[in-house]
Amino acid sequence: MKIVVLTGAGISAESGLKTFRDSNGLWEGHDVMQVATPEGFKNDAALVLEFYNQRRRQLLEVQPNNAHTALAQLEATHDVTIITQNVDDLHERAGSTAVIHLHGELLKVRSSVNAQYIVDWQQDVCVGDMCPNGHQLRPHIVWFGEAVPMLDVAIDHVESADALLIVGTSMQVYPAAGLVQYASNHAPIYFVDPKPSIDSSNRITVFAEKATTGVPKAIERLG
């Protein structure tokens, strides 16, 4: 059975990485329009780079939780693809092997001019850090207003899923939230979130609880 898992910031909350929709639209105290848009980067590159430097340092100090691990273990019995809105690498560290990052990755940087130049990066990035062609490096993050290059690949996976598991997302950030519409009518949907934005129905089973307890329950229901 092919299982496609859509994850959002909520799955990493119990690892210690805050969601921002739960904090009045602030991401670790910052206005997202300042730190997560191309305009914000143009206005104050040093502030934006430092914001992601902090997120990167924080990421290197936290660990995957039970929910990440349960999804990785699901690969032993099913064909599992994870489509995540998260920029952390906690799914990979838990052992998942097929992870699509819709919104980019904190542990990579790219050239601010040539989008094809993408490299692994664990250190801070500062104004003046350049790619080999002399252009400023920027976080490999899809900012609000930018295209989502992995979207078509993600749609193909959702279309061919036998079951969909959605974990820790407000389903408010498009185009990620629209992915569920591509699921086949025959595919059951399981949704885990302590403040679910979707109601249960014939097709959708909601587990209104945290990821670490809800994901193992949802997996049990998958059979």
Ligand X SMILES: NC(=O)c1ccc[n+]([C@@H]2O[C@H](COP(=O)([O-])OP(=O)(O)OC[C@H]3O[C@@H](n4cnc5c(N)ncnc54)[C@H](O)[C@@H]3O)[C@@H](O)[C@H]2O)c1
The contact set with ligand X (CB under 6 A) reads 8-14, 17, 19-22, 27, 85-88, 103, 168-170, 172-173, 193-195, 210-211
Question: Has 68 been annotated as catalytic?
Answer: no
- Report the nearest approach of ligand X to the CB of residue 211 (Å): 4
By beta-carbon proximity to ligand X, the closer residue of 48 and 87 is 87
Catalytic entry in 103, 135, 140, 186 = 103
Q: Which residue is nearest to ligand X (CB)?
A: 10
Q: Which is nearer to ligand X, 36 or 163 (CB)?
A: 36
Contact between residue 76 and residue 57 where contact means Cβ atoms under 8 Å apart: no
Minimum distance, C-beta of residue 186 to ligand X, in the bound complex (Å): 26
Q: Which is nearer to ligand X, 131 or 180 (CB)?
A: 180
**Closer Cβ to ligand X, 122 or 184, answer by number:** 122
Shortest Å, Cβ 133 to ligand X: 28
For residue 23, the minimal CB distance to ligand X (Å) is: 8
Catalytically annotated residues? 103
